[in-house]
Amino acid sequence: MAKPVLAPECYTQQRWFELEQEKIFGELWLFVGLKTQLMEPDSFITRDFSGVPVLVQNTDGELYAFRNACAHRGMPIQTEVSGKRRMTCPYHGWSYRGNGELRGIPNPKIYNFCDAEKAGLRLQAYALQTVGQFIFINMSATPMALTEQYKPDVLKVLEVLSEHFSPYASYTHFTTDYNWKLNFENVVDWNHVKFVHERSFGPSMEYLDPGYIASAPREGTFLFGEGGPLEHVQFSQDPPPGEEVDLTDLSRFGRAYFAHASRWFLPMLENAFDVTGSLTCSLYPNVNFGCIHGEQFYLQQFVPISPGQTEYHSWMFTARFKPGVPPQPQLLWALHHGEKSVLEEDIQLLDALQRGLWSAPSIGIMGAHEGPLNLIGRWYLKQLTGETLA
Ligand code: FES
Ligand SMILES: [Fe+2]
């Protein structure tokens, strides 16, 4: 057993929140959305990372990320969550090229800028990288390599699974009243499933003595099975205790047995590539992604708003449809509705957990199976304070 690494104040106090903004969200690669959301020229999405407005825009088929702030007075260039529109500021009409350079200023004479002033006018660009359908941005002036954050096997899983994504997704976001870290810890904490989700998907899992969740056999999936593109990926394991924690150790994936039920939309899918299991993949700092039976994908992101508030983003989509099958919005709504009721089971629990943390003198105790949570805490403390715990 071990004491939890983090004190309650890490989940409640503004000074920790500000340190996180600088040392985690200011330095790490952050998921922003799916390429399937930005397939059309001039399509865009906007996001907010703790007060930093971010714009991802498709210009002539290329994706670019910017601080969503006009070089003139800082007005957001795009004001909707998503849409299709060129990069022209709605305030005074300044327009920008795909790479963020200033394209034009209406009535330029009224500004009377000299050449040197004009030369510096552009949108602030952020690094952007895609892995399969996943779009990541990095707001650091000197971004680390993506491979410093995610192991090659994790990136490979994202890339290979992306080939199976349908381009139609249901997406929503809402606010919850707890610290973002509780949600990331919760998706790593498999032991809660049996108790919190006992009336939803908990009974679909299989539990081994003394309580571990059974993993899914590699047979029954042409991705992970013999000869499949993911045959040789290594499912995540904890590094031996005491070893220095590496950032890449914090993102994990695995496959769990999940009882198969024949579902009415199966005949519409091109293939269901994993009949025995569900895949879960947690991507540090704040994404949870998974796939059930190779039929249905869920994607969640936990974006901090304040120490006690999180903006919860949720996507739901299926595997690709057979050629000729039209979009199925009613299917996506039904699946997402089901997903939301499962998420609610966690959200109510985490709300209550956070309420206790505001006044908690400490956080109890952890057992051996909670090693991954301790890894996350150890890396967090080192990153934010330089403090190393054994
Ligand atoms: S703030 Fe954008 S044109 Fe004025
Ligand atoms: Fe859960």
pLDDT tens sequence across 80-116: 999 999 999 999 999 999 999 999 999 999 999 999 9
Would you state the structure tokens that stand for residue 227, as one six-digit string?
Answer: 């000869």
In 3-state terms, what secondary structure has residue 173? strand
pLDDT of res. 390: 60
Q: Alpha carbon of 161 to those of 74, 202, 240, 362, 376: distances in Å?
A: 38, 24, 29, 40, 25
Split at pLDDT 50, 70, 90, the class of 289 is very high
Residues 251, 235: Cα–Cα separation, whole Å = 11
- Count CA atoms closer than 13 A to 288's CA, side-chain side: 20
Instruction: Locate the ligand 1 atom nearest the alpha carbon of residue 77 and give its number.
Output: 2
Protein residues near ligand 2, an ion, with CB under 5 A: 346
Ligand located closest to 300 CA? 2
Distance CA(119)–CA(344), nearest Å, equals 50
Distance CA(203)–CA(111), nearest Å, equals: 67
Give the chain's mean pLDDT: 94
User: What's the predicted TM-score (pTM) here?
Assistant: 0.96
Q: Which domains does the chain have, with CATH numbers?
A: 1-26+150-390 (3.90.380.10), 29-143 (2.102.10.10)
The residue assigned the tokens 């210009």 is 59
Ligand nearest to the backbone CA of 345: 2
The Å distance, Cα 93 to ligand 2 centre, comes to: 46
Rounded to the nearest whole angstrom, what is the distance from the C-alpha of residue 75 to the centroid of ligand 1? 6
Q: How confident is the model at residue 261 (pLDDT cuts 50, 70, 90)?
A: confident
Average of per-residue pLDDT across 3-24: 95
pLDDT tens-digit profile of 158-207? Answer: 999 999 999 999 999 999 999 999 999 999 999 999 999 999 999 999 99
CB of 97 closer than 6 angstroms to any ligand 1 atom: no
Distance of alpha carbon 82 from alpha carbon 341, whole angstroms: 25
Strand pairing category for 212-213 and 134-138: unpaired
Residue 382: predicted pLDDT:
96
pLDDT score recorded for residue 1? 62
Per-residue confidence band for 260, with pLDDT thresholds at 50, 70 and 90: confident
Distance 146 CA to ligand 2 centre (A): 28
Atom of ligand 1 nearest to the CA of 94: 3
Q: Ligand 1 mean position to 69 CA, how many Å?
A: 9
Q: What mean pLDDT do residues 341-357 have?
A: 97
pLDDT number for residue 51: 87
Sheet strands (E) in the chain: 30-34, 43-49, 52-59, 62-67, 82-84, 95-96, 102-104, 125-131, 134-138, 165-176, 207-208, 212-213, 252-257, 277-283, 287-292, 296-306, 309-319
Structure tokens at 265: 């939309």
Atom of ligand 1 nearest to the CA of 89: 2
